[in-house]
């Protein structure tokens, strides 16, 4: 059974506090008719600090989409290998034992994907499958877990590496002054994460079931308007209320598995904002403390898009994990509006794959 091992997470060294964010908004948008509303919304996110891939002055400048995308590629190559190496160590695997790399990001563009560069520079086999996911936004962290689960279910001796790299600050658009844009300027942060899903062995969450769901008619609620200046983030005011229709979907997935979504041992969910967590607590009848790891990610790092789910899971590992066979739910939410959901049990049984490089039990090439 596929096991999601401990994620490795890294955030850049440049930090901006909420106090600094609010002061910037006041100075740069002094005449905005809804400035007081924007400031109140930013304060209510619960974000206290965010990390930026560039110094603040460079973040606020806009040298053009081409220059920003070059920064994205260079910084990804400089920073991602660290989390990849740590994730491999935590899974007790070598690069040569990875059969698929799933790379998720919605904040820059590369073709070929960073997966090709990782294979060529970090010792992954040339036969390694590549699965870049670029357009699921914050839901992509959950989608990556689910696609890795599917792959390792199909090929039980295989292993998949998940990599999430999000430099949300590179999408800052100084001319966008809608309330949704101003809110996003105080919500999103930069971060990278990696985790291995092992087909056999390993210690972490034994994945048992996954599912996807798209709320009909909401495809324009979270979107990019792609212009010459890059990605312009569009956020509909109805997005915070999406947990009301999605909570029954989470409950249904658990019901199909014979579990009660209100009575699980741990919950790892994407924290797009505090209302997401508050509403899940209400509609799933789960105590607020159950979402403490997601809330901690939001407070310390902001919304780091697809990397949120992996960071929240990392915090559960750091806390000591859960009891053996404890039942849990993982979920990511993003554009569509899309939910990517998974159920699994905590496994404290460590294991080391005995597969050698010459092992014949592999996915067909």
Alpha helical stretches, state H, 171-242: 179-185
The Cα angle at residue 141 between residues 190 and 302, in degrees rounded to 5: 30
Q: Which two tokens stand for residue 351?
A: 């294991």
DSSP-based three-state secondary structure for 3: strand
Query: What distance in Å separates the CA atoms of residue 364 and residue 2, rounded to the nearest whole number?
Result: 18
In the set 5, 106, 138, 152, the catalytic residue is 138
CA 74, CA 190: separation in Å to the nearest integer? Answer: 15
DSSP 322-361: --TT-EEEEEEEETEEEEEEEEEEEE---------TT-S-
CB 227 within 8 A of CB 239: no
Q: Name all contacts of 292-298 with Cβ < 8 Å and 24+ positions apart.
A: 293/268, 293/319, 294/267, 294/268, 294/269, 294/270, 295/46, 295/271, 297/271, 298/45, 298/46, 298/47, 298/271, 298/273, 298/274
Active site residue 138: yes
Positions marked catalytic: 138
């Amino acid at each position: 059974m596929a096991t999601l091992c401990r994620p490795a997470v890294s955030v850049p060294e440049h930090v901006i506090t909420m106090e600094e964010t609010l002061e910037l908004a006041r100075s740069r948008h002094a005449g905005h008719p809804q400035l007081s509303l924007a400031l109140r919304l930013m304060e209510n996110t619960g974000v206290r600090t965010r990390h930026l891939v560039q110094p603040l002055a460079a973040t606020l400048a806009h040298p053009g989409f081409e220059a920003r995308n070059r920064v994205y590629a260079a910084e990804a190559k400089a920073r991602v290998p660290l989390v990849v190496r740590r994730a491999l160590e935590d899974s007790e695997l070598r690069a040569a034992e990875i059969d698929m790399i799933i790379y998720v990001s919605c904040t820059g563009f590369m073709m070929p994907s960073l997966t090709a560069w990782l294979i060529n520079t970090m010792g992954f086999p040339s036969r390694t499958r590549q699965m870049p996911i670029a357009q699921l936004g914050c839901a992509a962290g959950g989608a990556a877990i689910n696609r890795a689960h599917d792959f390792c279910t199909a090929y039980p001796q295989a292993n998949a590496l998940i990599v999430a790299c999000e430099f949300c600050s590179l999408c800052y658009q100084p001319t966008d002054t809608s309330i949704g844009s101003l809110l996003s300027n105080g919500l999103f942060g930069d971060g990278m994460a990696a985790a291995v899903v092992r087909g056999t062995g390993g210690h972490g969450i034994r994945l048992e079931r996954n599912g996807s769901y798209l709320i009909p008619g909401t495809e324009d609620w979270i979107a990019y308007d792609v212009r010459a200046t890059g990605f312009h983030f569009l956020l509909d005011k109805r997005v915070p209320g999406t947990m009301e229709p999605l909570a029954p979907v989470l409950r249904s997935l658990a019901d199909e598995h014979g579990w009660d979504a209100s009575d699980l041992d741990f919950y790892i969910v994407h924290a797009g904002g505090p209302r997401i967590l508050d509403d899940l607590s209400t509609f799933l009848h789960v105590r607020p403390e159950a979402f403490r790891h997601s809330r901690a990610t939001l407070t310390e790092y902001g919304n780091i898009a697809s990397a949120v789910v992996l960071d929240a899971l990392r915090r559960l590992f750091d806390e000591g994990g859960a009891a053996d066979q404890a039942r849990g739910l993982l979920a990511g939410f993003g554009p569509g509006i899309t939910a990517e959901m998974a159920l699994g049990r905590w496994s404290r049984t460590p294991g080391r794959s005995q597969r050698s490089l010459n092992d014949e039990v592999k996915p067909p090439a």
